[in-house]
Amino acid sequence: MFDCPDILREFLFYLETIQGRSPKTVNGYYIELRTFLRYLKSVKVLKKLPQDAEELAQIKIDDVTKELVCSVTLSDIYDFLHFSLDVLGNSTASRSRKIAAIRALYKYLTTKTSYLEENPAKNLDTPAQRKSIPKYLTLEESLKLLDSVQDESPAVTARDYCMLTLMLNYVALYTIQALQQGPWRDPTQLGFFKVARFSSSARVPEVLGVHAGWIVALALVALFYVYLRHSKQGYELTVVGENEATARYAGMPVKRVVIRTMFLSAGVCGLAGMLQASGADRTLNDTVAGGVGFTAITVAWLARLNPIGMLIVSVLFCILEKGCASVQSVYNLSAATAEVLQGIILFFVLGCEFFLTHRICRASKLEGGVERG
């Protein structure tokens, strides 16, 4: 947010420090208002209507003045919404988010500062969103889907079941979205679909200025280190994970080990989600997981399934993500560029891991039937 004009920076600081909005929410307001200010500068200062989103993205807003922001009328806002529909191709939901951000900005300028006497967005209407009925499989179709994954090869059957269980993530995701847009929606969020922030009694307490989730994480690392290295159940889990056939030959209850591990993993994931929602976000949203599930697979692989190694690799991953975010802000790069940079770094890290565990040998030449090294 280094390119913010002063008036927008004041508003964002107000959201974060006074209203206690999460960084993700503040960043959402910033993105929507940045688009609005770019449009204002282009139309009112540069006297030119951008022809596409790429041309609009080239406009800097750090020199946008307070007078320009305060000169906006309701007609200007409607012109911007028409531009977002006609040129940017924004959906109804996207335009609703822009309207909510604009309303919040001008409400702040009117009621919390002395910049404006009358709110130009007071009578701004939100576009009606069409509610579609979700499509779902019937019970018979679901049973047919489960029966269809049975294959002669156990590996293929396990793969298909894994894919189906991964799809259950979307069940949880859309359940949260339904709660956000329905019974749990915060009425003060205007056009944003959000669950109200948790009360202080439902939040994870802070320790040393950070929520106590880090203490739980350290305790889990120690607990699972002992569980995996010094318990019968941990040994069974290791053997089943390495070779299921060997585990069966040794008389281990493979199915029981798998079910026990799934329940244990689900409990740890639920605990992590609770800490993220009650400690960091202080609310529930559909991005609570943040896509870290697939990152966790990479972390576990790099740490070679060692809990202490996972802790170290996780810290390094956090440093990498924060570094990429800083590069994005400092050099005004897109979010995609930062992700590409992160991917390149991970590619070389994983490549180094490959060469550490494997050795490439040059094939010997055969001359006259004799092998020469």
The pLDDT tens digits for 281-299 are 888 887 777 777 778 888 8
Q: Name the residue range of residue 184's domain.
A: 133-196
Please report whether residue 127 resides in a domain. no
Q: Which residue has the higher pLDDT, 142 or 297?
A: 297
Pair 99, 23 in one domain: yes
273, part of any domain:
yes
- When pLDDT is cut at 50, 70 and 90, the band that residue 366 belongs to is very low
pLDDT tier for residue 91 given thresholds of 50, 70 and 90? confident
pLDDT-derived band at 134, boundaries 50, 70, 90: low
Q: Check residue 346 and give its pLDDT.
A: 79
66 falls within a domain:
yes
User: Is residue 297, in this structure, part of any structural domain at all?
Assistant: no
18 plus 83 within the same structural domain: yes
pLDDT of residue 191: 60
Beta strands 210-211 and 206-207, pairing class: antiparallel
Out of 239, 257, 290, a domain closes at 290
Q: Is pLDDT above 50 for 252?
A: yes
State the pLDDT at residue 102.
92
Sign for the pseudo-dihedral over CA of 361, 362, 363, 369: negative
Amino acid 16: pLDDT: 85
Based on the fold, state whether residues 103 and 10 are members of the same structural domain: yes
pLDDT at 192: 66
Tokens representing 78 are 């409607």
pLDDT score of 293: 77
| Residue 275 and residue 209 share a domain | yes
The more confidently predicted of residues 43 and 346 is 43
Predicted confidence band of residue 93 (pLDDT cuts 50, 70, 90): confident
For residues 105 and 22, membership in a common domain is answered with yes
Instruction: Please check whether residues 139 and 187 belong to one and the same domain.
Output: yes
At residue 327, does pLDDT exceed 50? Answer: yes
Residue 98 CB coordination number (10 Å): 21
Distances (CA, A) of 125 to 108, 128, 182: 18, 9, 20
Last residue in a domain, options 243, 270, 290: 290
Residues 191, 237: one domain?
no
Total domain count, the chain: 4
* Helical H segments across the chain, by residue range: 6-13, 23-40, 53-57, 66-70, 74-86, 92-111, 139-148, 154-181, 213-230, 232-242, 244-249, 254-275, 292-302, 307-330, 335-357
Look up residue 185 and give its DSSP letter. B
210 and 181 in a single domain? The answer is: no
Average pLDDT over residues 137-148: 74
Task: Check whether residue 87 and residue 159 sit in a common domain.
Answer: no
Structure tokens at 187: 């009425």
Residue with tokens 């290295």: 229
Query: Which helix or strand (DSSP H or E) is residue 372 part of?
Result: strand 370-372
Please, what is the average pLDDT of the chain?
A: 82
The per-residue pLDDT for 371 is 46
Tens of pLDDT along 161-179? 777 777 777 788 888 888 8
Least-confidence region, from 67-76, 102-111, 256-265, 333-342: 333-342
Q: Are residues 96 and 165 in the same domain?
A: no
Q: Summarize the confidence of residues 166-193 as an average pLDDT.
A: 78
- Same-domain status, 283 and 309: no
pLDDT > 70: what percent of the chain?
89
With respect to residue 138, please indicate whether it lies within any of the assigned structural domains: yes
**Considering 170, 196, 222, which residue would you say is the last residue of a domain?**
196
**Residue 126 within any structural domain of the chain:** no
Percent share of the chain, pLDDT over 90: 19
pLDDT band at 226 (very low <50, low <70, confident <90, very high): very high
Of the listed ranges 67-71, 313-317, 324-328, the least confidently predicted one is: 324-328
Is the pLDDT at 222 greater than 90? The verdict is yes
Nearby residues of 279 by Cβ (< 8 Å), 6 or more positions away: 203, 204, 211, 212, 213
pLDDT, greater one: 3 or 129: 3
Whether 123 is covered by a domain: the verdict is no
